[in-house]
Chains A and B, each alone.
Chain A
Amino acid sequence: MTGKGVAAVEIVDLVKEYPSSFRRKMFRAVDEVSLRIEPGEVYGLIGPNGSGKSTTMKALLGLVAPTSGLCKVFGCDSMKVDARQHVGFLPENPYFYKHQTAEETLKFYGRLCGMRGKQLAMRIDALIELVSLQDARKRRLGGYSKGMLQRVGLAQAMIQEPQLLVLDEPTAGVDPVGSRQIRDLIFQLKEQGVTVFLCSHLLEQVQEVCDKVGIIFNGKMVQQGSLSELTSVDSHTEILVEDMDEVTLEKVREVIEQGGGELLASGAPRRSLENLFIEIANQCGEEAR
């Protein structure tokens, strides 16, 4: 499908301006943003509200036309319909047709992608299982919670087995267990070679799943690179030790000082609140069973 050396996503000097209220001055939502995502990579775009993340995604999906610059998906101009053949998109807080069930929704999107018959039915079954909506598949979406809608959104984004998945705040409104499932799903997709472009406010989650991260602020790409490049502190070294007593720790401190270094901190590492919650939720689930 893709030529050799063709990036999954290529955005070059993207500028997007909107007319302001009185149409005298243009408001620049995205200011010369460039980024490149290789096939199979997971790229996270982070930034505060109104920084231009969603507009960048919309330009990539052909929903808004760039004022200048270009966006390409697997080498194809994003303004062309052809570029969307292998793209799945989950918008922030998605709404679907309330009159449809989850099954009907997936069928509708699958048919829009040209899928039919047994192939579509099998894909719907697999996706409903993947997003854990087996019990609610025949229920109308009007009665779904926000988290359930997000899962339906994720399933519709993946209906045609896209090679690029664009996720705008994929865990917004999802409980920690669901959020963990989405994270695991991204890992799974990465193993399958699917490229993922996501934006999120949850920095911890971005750090967990992304190979590359871009930080956008006031429409400008402030920094980007691989996670290790961006997050490592070159002057510090981290050692994680198990079962060490105070005496040995003192000796280690002495050795460090002899070598010209300084032990900045020691103590028991803390697990994240998310990990604690997942642990308790799993325990409760097992006890209930």
Chain B
Amino acid sequence: MSKIGFISATRISVIAGHTFTQLVRMKVFYFLVVFAVIVLGSQFVDMSTLGAVTAVEQNLRVMKGAGFFAMNMFSVILALSATALLLPKDIEDRTLYTILCKPVPRLDYLIGKLLGVISLVTVGLLVMDGLFCLILNIRVEAMVAEQADLLTRMGRSVEVIETHAAAIRDQGVTWSLQAGVIAVLLKAIVVASIALLVSTFSTSTIFTIIITVVVVLIGLIQAEARDYFLQQQSLGMSSPMLEMTRWVSLLFPDFKLLGIEDGVINGERVSLSLLGRVSLAGVLYAAIYTVLSWFVFRRKEL
């Protein structure tokens, strides 16, 4: 009897491809229509643009904020619901029996499912990003033309007009904006891997969703909580909560580490090294949760 490899890229790709098709046929991409409505709607938010670059930038910030909020929300919801749905459904429908009775190691199955969800979120984000960049670019160019016209009429020099235009374009489609989208994807990947871990021991989709949401919420606020208790300590007020937040940081992901969109919305540039660190943190979190999922799932009684 020949040996089956511990892990196989081919088997993983078969399961990932199948998961992607399964989710696409569940018509999950309909949410893109809602996203388009939000992004198009944010265009109509108009603050006073009476020659002030700050007001123009503020308009673009609102637009970028709405875009990132929608991208974050849809990618996290998609990653969470798709992952939470898949494993319990396979167990309930007994399709898992027929898969695991083939020469498929359980790790391949888990990674395949996770990659299928990640592919879906990536495609969804690419479409959202494309649409967002297109609309943002149209808006930026319209603002640049409008401001140039206004400043020309005010008799400002070409240099001043060009400086104005560059400042507005800095708030538009930039590489830093794409880095922000990558951070959104990384957050969705971490959420999917948490949902995968929870679904290996949960018995229902709803339980998986609730527990994952709780973990994500803790992950979102833990940095603030830690900072607060550290501040208390520096003021001489010792609290057992500080020790607790240290334990929490070991068990739960710190989503603040992955959050670079706020800077991007404010027009800050994201350096390559920062993007590398954020990517490393995201991939590391996802890898840890996937390995933990495998530990739980490898001996799970079906």
A interface residues (Cβ-Cβ under 8 A, vs B):
1-2, 18, 58, 61-65, 74-76, 81-89, 91, 93-97, 99, 108-109, 111-114, 153, 156-157, 160, 166
Q: CB-CB < 8 A to B21: which residues of A? A: 99
CB contact between A65 and one of B22, B97, B105, B301 (< 8 Å): that residue: B301
Is B25 close to A, CB under 8 A? yes
Q: A76-B1, A95-B93, A112-B14 are in contact. Are A153 and B102 (CB under 8 A)?
A: no
Is B160 close to A, CB under 8 A? no
Asked whether B101 lies within 8 Å of A87 as measured between CB atoms, the reply is: yes
- Chain B residues 2 to 45 lying within 8 A of chain A, measured CB to CB, are 2-4, 10-11, 14-15, 18, 21-22, 25-26
Bound Cα distance from A170 to B98, whole angstroms: 14
Q: CB-CB < 8 A to B94: which residues of A? A: 91, 93-95
B interface residues (Cβ-Cβ under 8 A, vs A):
1-4, 10-11, 14-15, 18, 21-22, 25-26, 93-95, 97-105, 299, 301-302
With A76-B1, A81-B103 already in contact, 8 other A-B pairs whose C-beta atoms are closer than 8 Å? A2-B1, A63-B301, A82-B2, A88-B101, A91-B98, A97-B95, A99-B21, A99-B22
Q: CB-CB < 8 A to B105: which residues of A? A: 81
Q: Which 5 A-B pairs have the closest CB atoms?
A: A89-B101, A95-B93, A99-B25, A63-B302, A111-B14
Bound Cα distance from A93 to B103, whole angstroms: 22
Which residue of B is nearest A96, CB measured?
B95
Bound Cα distance from A112 to B8, whole angstroms: 10
Minimum distance in angstroms from B204 CB to a CB of chain A: 17
Bound Cα distance from A96 to B22, whole angstroms: 12
Bound Cα distance from A75 to B101, whole angstroms: 17
Q: CB-CB < 8 A to A94: which residues of B? A: 94, 97-98
Bound Cα distance from A108 to B1, whole angstroms: 23
Minimum distance in angstroms from B101 CB to a CB of chain A: 4
Q: CB-CB < 8 A to A82: which residues of B? A: 1-4, 103
Bound Cα distance from A86 to B26, whole angstroms: 33
20 A-B pairs (CB sep. < 8 Å): A1-B1, A62-B101, A63-B100, A63-B301, A64-B301, A64-B302, A75-B1, A81-B103, A84-B101, A85-B1, A85-B2, A86-B1, A95-B95, A96-B95, A99-B25, A108-B18, A114-B11, A157-B98, A160-B102, A166-B101
Q: CB-CB < 8 A to A63: which residues of B? A: 97, 100-101, 301-302
Q: CB-CB < 8 A to A1: which residues of B? A: 1
Q: CB-CB < 8 A to A75: which residues of B? A: 1
Asked whether B104 lies within 8 Å of A112 as measured between CB atoms, the reply is: yes
Asked whether B301 lies within 8 Å of A156 as measured between CB atoms, the reply is: no
CB contact between B102 and one of A74, A97, A112 (< 8 Å): that residue: A112
Asked whether A109 lies within 8 Å of B102 as measured between CB atoms, the reply is: yes
Q: CB-CB < 8 A to A76: which residues of B? A: 1
Asked whether B98 lies within 8 Å of A156 as measured between CB atoms, the reply is: yes
